[in-house]
Structure 1
């Protein structure tokens, strides 16, 4: 694996798999270690659609960013951004409007190191090494303060991250603290894995991830929808990810194990 000049960032234990690197492997990336690939193989063994689910999340991210730019959003905060893959937020947004600003947030050192490498020379994009479960630390970081220190709306992205946060950390309260910090007119995109449609298979995925740094907590539809409390849902509401503003011309779209939606702060 090559990370930031071929060096593994200090403090990274390559024997302990991480969600960011397993997700990178599922997306076909190369920024992962043997331990991550071993977990990825376990996930694929019990959930053969694992790569499609990861790709579905990624496709929702792209469509959500495109929707936000189309609504006039030019500043983005991507929480739990993970390891950069093809079609990063800044690439999608800046392709539509070169003035778009993006701040990525992740606590995975490999993700942060690689993000810094690819963002070098881009004045409108930055990465912050923080835990999204600590909103005060994230919101008070210099890059985020610069992004949020105006009254223009923000595009807040929480894609495929809250299924790594246990109930004990009160995920709805975490979302609320970020929501409260946003100016009116901001848009919030969130996606979350569920076991509603394949309980046995998703239970096996939970088992495969339990000894990683990021165990998983799948939630039913009602719990995912509750994360949008205080926001005005954009049509079609909280739905299976492939059904949220699907690509024009697609037919016979099958729902998958990801719920997704976008809400507006009014």
Structure 2
């Protein structure tokens, strides 16, 4: 994982408060990135202490993202939105997409202005990528933002990635409305992918560690809400859910089904992918 703050060169990005952790930078740490600081690493270590498999879960979420991107590109999708994206470091959506289809466009959307500023700097020089400032549930603002208007053609299919997004939305109605609003704004043939933190029977370690886990993310300004498979399935109402439906994180079209089955009890969350039909 990433090194010390002292290893960085140059001034810190304007506005970064090294006393307050960021959920985006905590995720960056879990994925082995370098865009995080001591306060983020301390918060991440508290999460790991209460839930050691969080790192496996984050790694599997990235693997799920790769499989979704590959499927959508193979299906002809050439424009993507990642909501509540965090910082697009190595292995992010634009790298995955453009390796398969270089003409594709990707816009990262995040509610944190510092994350967006860091993302814009990271993406500088790539005319097919951009970062937009908006809440992941404010779909009107997302589609009205300048980066989205410049790079995303609403008359053509778009892949919308809501990976690790909706478990930060505590209001059930607001979470449902966000997915419905996406459907209303995208063209036929568009797709949405969701990964959501899950309540799973037989996982007492999650229940036992919940307060520490939730408190840590709450301190980072991102309260965490776990939901059941049925609740996640409900989010796809009005969409055409693709096989195999809503399943545990490693089990959506895995490259290695045997290894995926072994990871189910370690990598927490429900995932699904759906298309907009006629």
1:171 aligns with 2:143: no
1:142 aligns with 2:146: yes
Count of equivalent residues: 266
Q: CA deviation at 1:110?
A: 3.9
User: How far apart, in 2, do the equivalents of 1:130 and 1:5 lie?
Assistant: 29
Q: CA deviation at 1:209?
A: 2.2
User: How far apart, in 1, do the equivalents of 2:189 and 2:216 lie?
Assistant: 40
Q: Evaluate the alpha carbon distance shift between residue 29 and residue 159 of structure 1 in structure 2; reply closer, same or farther with a 3 A threshold.
A: same
TM-score, structure 2 normalization: 0.88
Contact 1:9–1:109 (Cα < 8 Å) also in 2: no
Give the one of 42, 52, 73 matched to 1:69: 73
The aligned counterpart of 1:59 is: 63
Secondary structure at the counterpart of residue 112 of structure 1: helix
User: How far apart, in 2, do the equivalents of 1:66 and 1:174 lie?
Assistant: 24
User: How far apart, in 2, do the equivalents of 1:32 and 1:158 lie?
Assistant: 22
Q: CA deviation at 1:195?
A: 2.7
The aligned counterpart of 1:32 is: 36
The aligned counterpart of 1:257 is: 268
Within a 5 Å distance, the mapping from 1:172-191 to structure 2 comes to 172-191=176-195
Contact 2:69–2:93 (Cα < 8 Å) also in 1: yes
User: How far apart, in 2, do the equivalents of 1:219 and 1:54 lie?
Assistant: 17
The aligned counterpart of 2:111 is: 107
Secondary structure at the counterpart of residue 260 of structure 1: strand
Contact 1:46–1:204 (Cα < 8 Å) also in 2: yes
User: How far apart, in 1, do the equivalents of 2:75 and 2:262 lie?
Assistant: 25
User: How far apart, in 2, do the equivalents of 1:213 and 1:44 lie?
Assistant: 18
TM-score, structure 1 normalization: 0.92
Contact 1:188–1:262 (Cα < 8 Å) also in 2: yes
**Mean Cα deviation higher: 71-80 or 141-150:** 141-150
4+ long deviations beyond 4 Å = none
Q: Deviation string for 1:188-224 (max 9, x for gaps)?
A: 0110111323322344311332222112111111111
